[in-house]
């Protein structure tokens, strides 16, 4: 087998294999947990880890950085706390999602040349703070236009409400609503005042 044939046939396979090895090494934890921490016998009172996924916001490029920084300052939740808060938050989250759907509407454009139904253009009405507060259904909820220090995109409406030992935080605008069940900030608050 000539040197050129070998390169054409085997070099791509060797490159893919090397990439797979490097990827596997990169995904490995940087430290090994102690045997006690690695034990699957942790009880419901042990904190549960989680991954952070944040989508960049087109109108606020600093949103993800603020969101991750905010999460880093919060207390950890146990599995039992997260489960209880998630159960309590279910109806609230659905109400907030419904609010964003009610604030979008279809505006008909001009008629099509073939006489068919006119195309639809979605128009989004701004979400009022009072509407979001009503959807949350809790008088103790913090609802405000997102500030530059909030874990929410500037221009959206930020909300935070206590759910048992946890906090439901999130934001809503006329096109979307996002939320997370998180631990409280130092001092037990769900949001900065």
Which residue did the predictor score with more confidence, 24 or 95? Answer: 95
Decide: 166 and 143 in contact? Cβ < 8 Å: no
The pTM assigned to this predicted structure is: 0.64
Beta strand 177-182 with 166-172 is: antiparallel
Considering only residues 108 and 161, tell me which one the structure prediction assigns the higher pLDDT. 161
Coil, helix or strand at residue 162:
strand
> Is 192's pLDDT higher than 70?
yes
Q: How confident is the model at residue 129 (pLDDT cuts 50, 70, 90)?
A: confident
């Amino acid at each position: 087998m000539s040197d050129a044939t070998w390169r054409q046939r085997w070099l791509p396979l060797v490159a893919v294999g090397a990439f797979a090895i490097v990827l596997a090494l990169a995904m490995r934890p940087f430290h090994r947990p102690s045997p006690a921490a690695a034990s699957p016998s942790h009880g419901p009172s042990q904190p549960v880890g989680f991954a952070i996924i944040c989508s960049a916001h087109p109108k606020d490029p600093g949103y993800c950085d603020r969101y991750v920084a905010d999460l880093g300052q919060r207390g950890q939740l146990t599995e039992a706390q997260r489960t209880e808060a998630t159960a309590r938050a279910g109806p609230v989250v659905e109400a907030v999602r419904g609010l964003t759907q009610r604030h979008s509407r279809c505006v008909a454009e001009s008629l099509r040349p073939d006489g068919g139904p006119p195309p639809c253009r979605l128009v989004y009405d701004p979400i009022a703070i009072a509407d979001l507060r009503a959807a949350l259904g809790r008088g103790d909820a913090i609802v405000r236009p997102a500030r530059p220090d909030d874990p929410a995109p500037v221009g959206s409406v930020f909300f935070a409400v206590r759910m048992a030992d946890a906090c439901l935080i999130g934001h809503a605008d006329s096109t979307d609503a996002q939320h997370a069940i998180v631990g409280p900030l130092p001092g037990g608050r769900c949001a900065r005042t």
